[in-house]
Structure 1
Amino acid sequence: MRAIDRCAQTNRWRHYATGEKLLLAVGLMIISLDSVGWTGQIGLLIAILALMKTGPGLRLHDIFKAARVPMLFIITGTLAQLVSVRMVGFVPTLSLVSTDAAYSAGFVALRSTTCIAALLLLALTTPLSSIVQLLQRMGLNAELSDIAMAMFRLIWLLLDCLEAGQQSLGSRLGYTSNRRMLTSNGLLLASLLPRVLGRAQRIEAGLAARGYGGRLNFISVEQPASNVRLLMITCLLGSVAVLMWCAP
């Protein structure tokens, strides 16, 4: 999460409107879901990775690091689809699926990978606060958006307290052996929730001291949406859709 937020705050597309990046990412996902050819999916995946590298200037290391968890889920699901379980008498027997089923499983994995890449294009270039602001302008209830931001802030508090506790225990030789590691982790987990709640109460007091009236407002550094850029994105998506339709 730290790497994703760092990329979202420091990339070259940070000052572009969230709606423009959302249109690009969602459009690429729709094109991927509508395509049925291997060549088109592979070409689209390579094009998205190249766009993430050359456009916002994201490092491939950060992209692959952010994609580890969803890719692990895709690989696990694909491997499960390649195995069939049959009951021979009362004994379960494992066997590989047919060639057509393996072909379908591989294509689903490729399409899922392409959609994940399009989603990461949005996540690695746009902070969550900007997405919430866009949803508010589109009619999202203010209470729901505040709850989402409060939960996001609590996650950061949890990670900060966890990291500080691990550093403190490590400096006190709390991880020199397996037994000490278990004891140290137990003490850390037992003290984690009270520390997070204490930090959350201080944040609440700080908001009240600054005149919090029921809605969280953020300073936006984004440019207004440009009709020229929206037209360019639409033309780009249309061209990609035509190429995907022509690809085998």
Structure 2
Amino acid sequence: MFALDVAAHTGPWRSRHPGEKALLSLGLLACAVILPPWPGALLSGLAAAVLLVGPARVSPAVVLRAARVPLLFVATSTVPLVVTVHAPIRLTVNTAGFGTAAHTAGRSVAALTCLLLFSATTPLSEVLPRLQRLGVPAAVTEVAALTYRMLFLLVESVRAVREAQAARLGFRTWRTAYRSLAGQAGAIFVRAFSRARRLEEGLALRGYTGSLAVQVEARRMSPPFLVASGGLLVLIVAVTAAVVVGPQW
């Protein structure tokens, strides 16, 4: 399993209702997106980070591992805001873009932290069935569930093929490495296609009629948690309004 999935299934918030965590995480995400970067997005990101490593007990190493690729994307996306390309080939630094780049990067990192708060505390197996109860078409939730399941099979296939190639000295030189990568792609495609066909045949033999019956464990909303979440969101909005609107008065 992925590190985030392990954290979601083993963390102390595992027994909480997904609606509670959605209210908190998506509420913080809304504050990070709607409110000004300073101090709204900063407060939202800090609150999500503190909740992640504090009450949710998610390891900082797991958070950094899950966030490293999105953070790299954020870093590369801010480069065009501070660098200008002139004809024919000349690069100049746009000092006026540093503020925009900082605001964009800060808001993006805050939003990413809020999303990690939800994904690291809520298993997907508990979210999809409840989405169907909220009116999301069954076809959408089932395709998402099957895709999620196939990801683990794909990662397992990649690991098995790579270990087999490494045992045969498939990565000894650059030439053999390129050849092994090409063979790896072909083998993984064949395995994935075969697994998908077997999955389809298995569903058909079990009388699949267009919807999968999934038993969901009943969970109750916690009023103290909801009140605390709402209070935190109101506090962030109030502090942001005081900082932004206060000096104007």
TM-score w.r.t. the length of structure 2 is 0.88
Q: Return the offset for 1:106.
A: 0.7
Residues in 1 aligned to 2:197 and 2:188: alpha-carbon distance in whole angstroms: 14
**Correspondence for 2:134:** 138
Residues in 1 aligned to 2:86 and 2:223: alpha-carbon distance in whole angstroms: 58
Q: Which amino acid aligns with 1:173?
A: L
- Cα distance change on mapping 1:217 and 1:125 into 2, 3 Å: farther
**Correspondence for 2:33:** 33
Q: Return the offset for 1:121.
A: 0.7
CA contact (8 A) 2:38 2:240 kept: no
- 1:140-179 aligned at under 5 Å gives the runs 140-179=136-175
Residues in 2 aligned to 1:78 and 1:184: alpha-carbon distance in whole angstroms: 35
**Deviation per residue, 1:167-225 (Å, 9 max, x gap):** 12222332222222222222222222221222223333443454434223434346222
DSSP-derived class of the 1:69 partner: helix
Q: Which has the higher contact order (CA 8 A, sep 6+)?
A: 1
**Correspondence for 2:210:** 214
DSSP-derived class of the 1:225 partner: coil
**Correspondence for 2:247:** none
Q: Relative to structure 2, which stretch is displaced further, 23-32 or 42-51?
A: 42-51
Structure 1: gaps (5+ residues): none
**Correspondence for 1:204:** 200
CA contact (8 A) 2:48 2:113 kept: yes
**Correspondence for 1:75:** 75
Q: Return the offset for 1:153.
A: 1.9
Q: What number of residue pairs does the alignment pair up?
A: 244
Residues in 2 aligned to 1:116 and 1:37: alpha-carbon distance in whole angstroms: 14
**Correspondence for 1:86:** 86
Residues in 2 aligned to 1:29 and 1:201: alpha-carbon distance in whole angstroms: 39
Residues in 2 aligned to 1:243 and 1:178: alpha-carbon distance in whole angstroms: 57
Q: Relative to structure 2, which stretch is displaced further, 7-16 or 209-218?
A: 209-218
CA contact (8 A) 1:129 1:218 kept: no
Residues in 2 aligned to 1:34 and 1:179: alpha-carbon distance in whole angstroms: 51
Residues in 2 aligned to 1:95 and 1:230: alpha-carbon distance in whole angstroms: 50
Q: Return the offset for 1:133.
A: 1.8
- Cα distance change on mapping 1:222 and 1:55 into 2, 3 Å: farther
Q: Return the offset for 1:37.
A: 5.0
Q: Return the offset for 1:14.
A: 1.3
- Cα distance change on mapping 1:43 and 1:8 into 2, 3 Å: same
CA contact (8 A) 1:15 1:222 kept: no
Matched, 1:98 2:90: no
- Cα distance change on mapping 1:152 and 1:76 into 2, 3 Å: same
DSSP-derived class of the 2:51 partner: helix
**Correspondence for 1:65:** 65
CA contact (8 A) 1:14 1:222 kept: no
Q: Return the offset for 1:60.
A: 0.6
DSSP-derived class of the 2:12 partner: coil
**Correspondence for 2:49:** 49
Q: Return the offset for 1:39.
A: 4.2
Residues in 2 aligned to 1:153 and 1:37: alpha-carbon distance in whole angstroms: 37
Residues in 1 aligned to 2:194 and 2:153: alpha-carbon distance in whole angstroms: 10
Residues in 2 aligned to 1:222 and 1:56: alpha-carbon distance in whole angstroms: 21
